[in-house]
Amino acid sequence: MSNGSTPPAPRRRLRGTLLVVVAAVAVVGLGGWLVWRSPGAGGEPPRAGGISGHGTGHRPAGEDGGHGSRGSGPGKGQGSLRGKVVVIDPGHNPHNRDHGREIARQVDIGNSRKECDTTGTSTDDGYAEASFTLDVARRARTLLQKAGAKVVFTQDGDRSYGPCVDKRAAIGNRAHADAALSLHADGSAAGNRGFHVILPARVTAGPADTAAIVKPSRRLGERLADRFHAITGSARSNYIGDGTGLDVRSDLGGLNLSTVPKVFLECGNMRDPKDAAQLTDARWRQKAARGITEGITDFLEH
């Protein structure tokens, strides 16, 4: 064993050999990179995330958003109704009962004259239709606004009475609504159960002309009935509409005087104990709002 300070000759030769090998690898690597970057040899490097310039890459999970019960398909998320106007007409008014003379005034609905408004019905234990319609309307407004829609109310409990049925139609017309919905609950006999949607008939008389809205209103009503049934679990009416949940009428000023697609939704029968149990349940009313929102969304997106 040597004890001098000069390294043995073989170690110097090994170090020199390694330096030559490293330099050669660097030159070869640089040359390959230059060839790969050349115009005819493979194009640009891939973009971060794997999404090409034509948008064909996979989106991150959940990017499209969507309604909770419907999955996350395109167009179902927040903002899918951006630019759309929805008018919601909460039927009656909690203060109508204090303004009997005012709401009894007759107004022109085209083919006849009817009362300005009515007090509406109630459950046997006193839950008023006007309170029900406002609650569901406000819940639906929140969901529709989350989807990007502009929501206009005909009344929000902020009027002393009404407005009259002709004014309710006029509010939707002035707003150029893409869809309008009047919310109600029925006051039929016990045993009559389920919801139904009222569609406008063809009426052309006086200030009424529904010719342009009959077909789109039917589509709105059909979508609404389908989604309302699916989300709430409520049956279609067993006493109106022959099992379809759809009814056509020509005696409602809110429909006769509308120039935009519009329907009425009778959410159930307040005088039937089983229906009343649903209508008075806040959790069910939230489902009703979801069904309404999804029905309107289906109509506006197709």
By mean pLDDT, which of 5-14, 78-87, 124-133, 183-192 is the weakest? 5-14
The residue range of the domain holding 237 is 85-301
Domain presence at residue 36: no
Domain presence at residue 159: yes
Q: Are 125 and 91 in contact (CB under 8 A)?
A: no
- The question of whether 266 is a catalytic residue gets the answer yes
Strands (E), 167-234: 179-186, 196-200, 204-205, 208-209
Domain presence at residue 101: yes
Taking only the tens place, the pLDDT of each residue in 227-279 is 999 999 999 999 999 999 999 999 999 999 999 999 999 999 999 999 999 99
By mean pLDDT, which of 24-28, 158-162, 280-284 is the weakest? 24-28
Domain presence at residue 46: no
Domain presence at residue 188: yes
- Residue with the bigger pLDDT between 184 and 67: it is 184
Does residue 57 have a pLDDT over 50?
A: no
What is the CATH classification number for the domain harbouring 174?
3.40.630.40
Residue 110: its pLDDT value, please? 98
Residue 77: its pLDDT value, please? 57
Between the CA of residue 58 and those of 18, 46, 51, 55, 79, what are the distances in Å? 46, 14, 7, 8, 21
Confidence band, pLDDT 50/70/90 cuts, at residue 42: very low
Supply the mean pLDDT for the chain.
82
Domain presence at residue 20: no
Which one of 3-17, 37-51, 138-152 scores highest in mean pLDDT?
138-152
Q: Residue 84: CB partners within 8 Å, gap ≥ 6?
A: 148, 149, 150, 178, 179, 300
Taking only the tens place, the pLDDT of each residue in 187-217 is 999 999 999 999 999 999 999 999 999 999 9
Domain presence at residue 15: no
The residue from 129, 222, 266, 294 that is catalytic is: 266
Domain presence at residue 54: no
